[in-house]
Amino acid sequence: MPSVFTRYQKFVVAVLAFLQFTIILDFMIISPLGFFLLRDMHITTRQFGLVVSAYAFSAGASGLLAAGFADKFDRKRLLLFFYVGFLLGTALCGVANSYPFLVGARIVTGVFGGVIGSIVMAIVADLFPLQVRGRVMGTIQTAFAASQVFGLPLGWELANRWGWHVPFIMILAVGAPVGVVIALRLQPIVEHLKIPSTRNPVRHLVATIGQERYLQTFLATMMLATGGFMLMPFGSTFTMNNLGISAAHVKWIYMATGAVTLVTGPLLGKVADVIGKYKLFAIGSIAGAVLVGIYCNLGRTPLYAVLGLNAVLFVAITCRMISASALISAVPDLPDRGAFMSVNASVQQFSGGLASSLAGMIVVQAADGHLEHYPVLGWVVMSVMTLVMLLMYPINRAVMRKSAAQAQAVGPGPAPITVAAAE
């Protein structure tokens, strides 16, 4: 983080990144655990797709319901409420003893966990100006990489030794202290409450959804979520059964790709601030589409090639995640920020749920475990990635015009870096 950031500001970014680590780990752990769930519960690929989409659909519904209230409360209190619920859902996953129980537990986890990302985005947009938001997002997005370096390999190893329940218990053990730290040290975030508003929650939600520039962003988010959700559920199964990588080596793939993105994430955040968020997004989208096309058409592949390809692919994905998050965070006005982020997260989750279900219909597991029609899945993802790149262009133009207008109103000189409270 740049030296102009105070110790408290660095703490805010660090605690949000660690919180995101637990949320992302809970979501991503389903992919490597898919191998064990398909085997131990004797479920089909469609049923497994429902395990993934159950989280997404419930998170989408929760985000939509929470949107009208998102700007009515202190963001710290809202964050704590949903994080406690998320930990409860994770605990239920850890004790699930049947397929229906697991689906229900994923629904509870999604109801609470799916809203947290939108609250984090609102907090970042409240506390940090657009000029440095790439660096902030780059640091927070390292949670994605850290979950691969530390969480997924450990989760895989625990599941391999003691069963698929144990990784959820691990997430609970790691996440509970984070909630305590947030409760004790994070200062109230109430700047948005100082702006007079007479709209009730329903009108606030309707007014937010009805704005044309917001609708354009929601459409881009819908397409943005589709690619990741379509490839994620069957990643470990494809790696072992199609690429021929042994179960013992899967953890090294997660660790290698995570380590690369852990290092490159903050650097890419700085690059986004220097060359422009959209330019980095376009670079990541083009590179990612090419790599997805190659990856989904692979057959038996040496471990070193899979390691290298995954590492480069996740760098491209990180380019897209950081730049898109920074751009989208600049779209809403302060009075609408919480509602916008909640609706945006809801759209993302609903789209992801549909994408996971669609992926489960496209991909079929043969009797020998081989996944069929994976290249078709790759072509769909490539097409969507290209479409999102086109959709993000007018959003970038609008953000740049808005930023220029705000800079002109403030006058010459750098925008201040604000935070809710001093050290």
CATH code, domain carrying 384: 1.20.1250.20
pLDDT at 1 over 70: no
Question: Average of pLDDT values for 223-249?
Answer: 81
Give percent of the chain with pLDDT exceeding 90: 19
Q: What is the pTM of this model?
A: 0.71
Question: Which of these ranges, 94-98, 174-178, 331-335, 348-352, has the smallest mean pLDDT?
Answer: 348-352
In a domain, 416, yes or no: no
pLDDT at 212 over 50: yes
Question: Average of pLDDT values for 158-176?
Answer: 87
Run of H or E including 414:
none
Question: Average of pLDDT values for 167-174?
Answer: 89
Single out the residue of 157, 105, 135 nearest to residue 329, CA to CA: 135
In a domain, 43, yes or no: yes
Residue of 135 and 217 predicted with greater confidence = 217
Residue range(s) defining the domain that contains residue 331: 7-188+200-410
419: left (phi over 0), alpha (psi -120 to 50) or beta: beta
Question: Average of pLDDT values for 369-391?
Answer: 90
In angstroms, the Cα distances linking 279 to 82, 113, 125, 136, 268 are: 34, 31, 21, 18, 12
Task: Kindly report, residue by residue over 104-128, the tens digit of the pLDDT.
Answer: 999 999 889 888 888 888 888 888 8
pLDDT at 202 over 70: yes
In a domain, 13, yes or no: yes
Residue of 328 and 417 predicted with greater confidence = 328
pLDDT at 359 over 80: yes
Residue of 248 and 178 predicted with greater confidence = 178
Name the pLDDT band for 46 (thresholds 50, 70, 90): confident
Query: What percent of the residues of the chain are helix, what percent strand, and what percent coil, each to the nearest 5?
Result: 80, 0, 20
Provide the pLDDT for residue 283: 95
Residue 219: Cβ-neighbour burial (10 angstroms; 0-12, 13-18, 19+):
middle
pLDDT at 88 over 80: yes
Provide the pLDDT for residue 61: 83
Chain centroid to Cα 61, Å, comes to 17
Question: Average of pLDDT values for 185-195?
Answer: 83
pLDDT at 415 over 70: no
Residue of 318 and 147 predicted with greater confidence = 318
Distance, in Å, from the CA atom of 37 to the CA atom of 43, rounded to the nearest integer, reads: 7
Q: How many domains does the chain have?
A: 1
Query: What are the structure tokens assigned to 284, written together?
Result: 């990541």
Question: Average of pLDDT values for 310-339?
Answer: 85
Place of tokens 């899967």: 250
In a domain, 24, yes or no: yes
In a domain, 106, yes or no: yes
Residue of 321 and 35 predicted with greater confidence = 321
